[in-house]
Amino acid sequence: MKQNMHIVILTAGYGNGHIQVARTLKQSLIRSGVRSVSVIDLYREAHPGMNSVSRSLYLYSPWFSAYGLDYYGWSYYATRDLQKTSAIAKWGNQLGMKKLITLLQKQRPDAIISTFPFGGITDQLQKHGIRVPVFTVVTDFSLHNRWLFTRPDRYYVATADLKREMIERGVPAEAIVVSGIPVREPFYEPVRSANPQAQAQAPRASERSRSVLVMMGAHIPLPDVQLITAKLLALPDVRVDLVCGGNDKLRRRLERRFAGHERLQLFGYVEAIHDRMREAACIVTKAGGITLSEAIQIRTPIVVYKPFSGQERENARYLERKGAAAVAISPRALAEQVHELIDSEVRRARMLQQYDELAAGCATETIVRDVLRLTGRLQAMADGQ
């Protein structure tokens, strides 16, 4: 169905998740017949210098934290319950808004979707007399008050628990849809597509049941990777597939350290990471909302290693409380968790049962369908006035 609409998706480059969700939504909107979709990294457009510095501080925060300077974690927890009327919130809510209004006056979109907690968008729209529906996609399992500083026409959230927490903080229940977090289309496929060559290269079922996929992260690698790898390879008959992404230096270092080890396979960037995840008995990863959602959707048990302070730690804590992830803070504890997940059918079954409850349908389709329906309805109401 053709949708004669132009939609703007606002995002920010702090971690890979916000941008990845924006791209996933754009692809789905285009497939749904939307005329045009613009993805805008608002802070990069509005404040390029500040954005570059703040992104660097974000990306290097785990290293500083390891030496006792956990400035990112401190700032996250200090502002988690921040009120919109505070001086810090008022300052933060102005960032990028002048640029946003200029872009909106030029592009005149039919709807705005945000995948990052920009504050004060609806206030600015009202101030400048711009009438356009606003939608917010919350990309974590935990709640920070910055997500609430813009009051959109609709929130899309990961879980019913998160919806309840938002209601307790004053968000109307009808403004919240429990959609899940959008992930790329291949993760919604029930089975891997038939490919004789890929099938021939894939591990046999007996090997796959003891395969561990270690994912390093798009920008910030897992800590202690050599110790992790050694501990995992010490487990009986366990195969380790380690994805280094674009970190060639790390990959060469691991090749030297574990040269010739037959149960270790190193990869650079893997396009079809969903296939690797399906073949694994469990994954070892960071606690970004997108990676966790991908594993939940594809139903691969999760072990989170040393989650970083802030939203990743809160994501990990939430899933651990639900029985949907194991969390380890040392290489030894990690190996023990992996060993139990591989060998305990009861533990795996409990975790997969949680995934059945969390992965309720296709989040991307739910969001896109609702955005188009509500935008069309609001347009019709405006035209009828």
Per residue in 249-283, pLDDT tens?
A: 888 999 999 998 999 999 988 888 999 999 999 99
Q: Calculate mean pLDDT across residues 367-376.
A: 95
Residue 111: closest CA among 19, 12, 32, 14: 32
Q: What is the length of the chain?
A: 385
Confidence bin at 326 (pLDDT 50/70/90) = very high
Q: 248 exposed, middle or buried (CB, 10 Å; 0-12, 13-18, 19+)?
A: exposed
pLDDT at 298: 93
**Residue 285: beta bridge partners?**
304
What percent of the chain lies above the pLDDT cut of 70? 92
pLDDT digits (tens, 9 = 90+) for 340-356: 999 999 999 999 999 99
Contact at 8 Å (CB) between 104 and 132? Answer: yes
Contact at 8 Å (CB) between 174 and 16? Answer: no
**Going from the N-terminus, what domains does the chain have, and what CATH number goes with each?**
3-180+361-384 (3.40.50.2000), 194-358 (3.40.50.2000)
Q: Does pLDDT of 360 surpass 80? A: no
pLDDT at 322: 95
pLDDT digits (tens, 9 = 90+) for 193-250: 444 444 444 444 334 468 999 998 766 678 899 999 999 999 999 999 999 888 888 8
Q: Can you spell out the DSSP letters for 204-238?
A: PHHHHTTEEEEE--SSSPPSSHHHHHHHHHTSTT-
pLDDT digits (tens, 9 = 90+) for 114-173: 999 998 899 999 999 999 999 999 999 999 999 999 999 999 999 999 999 999 999 999
**Residue 135: beta bridge partners?**
113, 154
pLDDT at 206: 38
pLDDT at 378: 74
Give one word for 213, left, alpha or beta, with left for phi > 0 and alpha for psi -120 to 50: beta
Return d(Cα 71, Cα 8) in angstroms, integer.
32
